[in-house]
Amino acid sequence: MQKLVIKKISARKILDSRGNPTIEVEVVVRRGRATGTGRAAAPSGVSRGKHEVVAFPSGGPDASIELVRKTIASKLVGRPVGGQEELDSILHELDGTSNFSKLGGNAAVAISMAVAKAAASTHGMPLYRYLGDRRAVQLPYPLGNVLGGGAHAGRYAPDIQEFISAPVGASSFLDAAFANSQVHKKVRDLLEQKDKTFTGGKGDEGAWAPNLNNEDSLEVVAQACDDASSEFGFEIRPALDVAASRLYDEKKDAYIYERSGKTLDRGEQLDFIIELIDTYKLFYVEDPLHEEDFDGFAELTSKVGKKCLICGDDLFTTNVARLQKGIKAGAANAVIIKPNQIGTLSDTLAAIKVAKKHDYIPVMSHRSGETHDETIANLAVGWGCPLVKTGVVGSERMAKLNELIRIEQELGEKARMGRLR
């Protein structure tokens, strides 16, 4: 196979969905006589695990962009690259740190994604097909954040970060996406009945941000899921992203629920999560314990893992070594996959392969500070992730949803929904 030759790399500062700066990269490549162009933008997360790669080096996005323009481009332009792994290995070598603290993980992942898109372009095929070949026919079920709290919302919102709609009974991605949209609408209607002070405020991901405690919020979302299930004729279940690392006080060794006025030790936190799973028939719970508690995750998974997905985000940070540690401990049965947590597509794929080998469900995910980049939609299909977190509303979220709708239509009769167990 002819090698890619990188002809041009350019970088610019753009706005993410919060209005904060992030980086976008464009790459032009040549393969034989064919040329291709790829553009990719990196998102940013506010609820970040401490084991993630560094998003930007000292000096922020501007310093990262300057490094891409002056250092990375000069090293890569004109250089033949044999494939994605080789390109990503070069990025690691040029950065020279274990966590992309010199170049910045956002710059690294934007370059990595842009090169993959440019390479796909030289073959005249969409990215999902380039990554997954003809086996890429599986659409993920979308997890939709419909009511929010924690770091993504205001001070009077619930302590739990995300209350999620999971349309697990849908037979098509199109139906699943519109089911989440309907749940989002119903949540607003129910909030207006339950909270007379509700003014329609939203959090970072477009989820409603009411002045309610956790249990009342979950009641609303569970009711909205039930109502929408009746309308659509398939099962839609509630789910949670607790983001427990944001609630955990290391000095007190306890979880502080400020909005609810509760302080829970580890045993009480486990009991609380199990009670929510049983009461509301939760399909999925993400980060129910803090990011270092592998044993706590393992205990929870052993008790409820057969009826609920227990997913690690901050626990794993798309990092193979941490995922292997969790697998050995029996911690969780699902893992969030965020390319900018780890810095390159090759590192991202390595985590997905380890997860699948050990029957962990890989969940491709957006970030709270998003862009209009649609790459993760293609990664979810190309690499066969059964679930995707994309949000429900907001143009930066719909960029992913609409891309998945287009992919499903393009696949036609070959398309099928992912296997969740």
306 is catalytic: no
Q: What is the pTM of this model?
A: 0.95
What's the pLDDT score for residue 182? 98
**pLDDT score, position 68:** 94
Residue 78 in tokens: 């004109």
3-state secondary structure the chain: CCCEEEEEEEEEEEECCCCCEEEEEEEEEEECCEEEEEEEECCECCCCCCCCCCCCCCCHHHHHHHHHHHHHHHHHCCCEECCHHHHHHHHHHHHCCCCCCCCCHHHHHHHHHHHHHHHHHHCCCCHHHHHHHHHCCEECEEEEEEEECHHHCCCCCCCCCEEEEECCCCCCHHHHHHHHHHHHHHHHHHHHHHCCCCCCCECCCCCECCCCCHHHHHHHHHHHHHHHHHHHCCCCEEEEECCHHHCEECCCCEEEECCCCEEECHHHHHHHHHHHHHHHCCCEEECCCCCCCHHHHHHHHHHHCCCCEEEECCCCCCCHHHHHHHHHHCCCCEEEECHHHHCCHHHHHHHHHHHHHCCCEEEEECCCECCCCCHHHHHHHHCCCCEEECCCCCHHHHHHHHHHHHHHHHHHHHCEECCCC
Active-site hit among 102, 117, 338, 389: 338
Examine the residue annotation and report whether 291 is marked as an active-site residue of this protein: no
Q: What is the model's pLDDT at position 47?
A: 60
What structural domains and CATH numbers belong to the chain? Answer: 4-124 (3.30.390.10), 132-417 (3.20.20.120)
Residue 82 is predicted with a pLDDT of: 84
Tens digits of pLDDT across the chain (421 residues): 688 899 999 999 999 999 999 999 999 999 989 999 999 999 986 666 688 999 999 999 999 999 999 889 999 999 888 889 999 999 999 999 999 999 999 999 999 999 999 999 999 999 999 999 999 999 999 999 999 987 666 677 899 999 999 999 999 999 999 999 999 999 999 999 988 888 888 888 899 999 899 999 999 999 999 999 999 999 999 999 999 999 999 999 999 999 888 999 999 999 999 999 999 999 999 999 999 999 999 999 999 999 999 999 999 999 999 999 999 999 999 999 999 999 999 999 999 999 999 999 999 999 989 999 999 999 999 999 999 999 999 999 999 999 999 999 999 999 999 988 7
Radius of gyration, alpha carbons of the chain: 21
Catalytic residue among 205, 370, 403, 408: 205
What integer pLDDT is reported at residue 150 of this predicted model?
78
Phi-psi region of 391 (alpha: psi -120 to 50; beta: other; left: phi over 0): left
Q: Which pLDDT value is given to residue 50?
A: 81
pLDDT value of position 40: 98
pLDDT at residue 420, as a whole number: 86
